């Protein structure tokens, strides 16, 4: 077995088993892509590395999409909450304005009566 790094990937080449493993990390967790050559085919390390890397990247992408969708769901709930909060605040502002207008009218009536 041969092990070596290329960028963010670590490859394990096992020519006697016609296997290439590619390992990378996402969110501090390892993800593995594996390619296995059929016995009737000729083992090609470059092709095996490519297939293993794409499979590894696919697993990472799936995990990233799960995380992003989870974050989106949380953000959507937060937006819904703040939209409801905004509606409630607008309602309270309208109520306060009506009360203020009533108080102003009352003060005006009192001042007219005193004159």
Q: Tell me what pLDDT residue 112 has.
A: 84
Range of the domain at 35: 2-114
Do the Cβ atoms of 56 and 88 come closer than 8 Å? no
Confidence check: pLDDT of 115 > 80: no
Q: In angstroms, what CA-CA distances link 7 with 10, 23, 26, 75, 102?
A: 8, 11, 14, 34, 72
Q: Distance between CA atoms of 35 and 30, rounded to whole angstroms?
A: 17
Give the predicted TM-score (pTM) of the model: 0.71
Count how many domains the chain has: 1
DSSP 48-108: HHHHHHHHHHHHHHHHHHHHHHHHHHHHHHHHHHHHHHHHHHHHHHHHHHHHHHHHHHHHH
> pLDDT of 37-54, one tens digit each?
988 889 999 999 999 999
Tell me the pLDDT tens digit for each residue of 98-108.
999 999 999 99
């Amino acid at each position: 077995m041969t092990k070596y790094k290329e960028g963010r990937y670590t490859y394990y080449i096992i020519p006697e088993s016609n296997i290439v493993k590619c390992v990378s990390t996402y969110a501090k967790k390892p993800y593995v892509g594996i390619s296995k050559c059929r016995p009737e085919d000729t083992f090609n390390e470059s092709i095996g590395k490519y297939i293993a890397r794409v499979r590894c990247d696919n697993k990472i992408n799936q995990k990233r999409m799960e995380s992003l969708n989870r974050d989106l769901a949380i953000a959507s709930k937060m937006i819904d909450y703040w939209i409801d909060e905004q509606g409630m605040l607008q309602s309270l502002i309208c109520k306060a304005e009506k009360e203020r207008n009533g108080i102003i009218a009352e003060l005006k009536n009192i001042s007219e009566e005193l004159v």
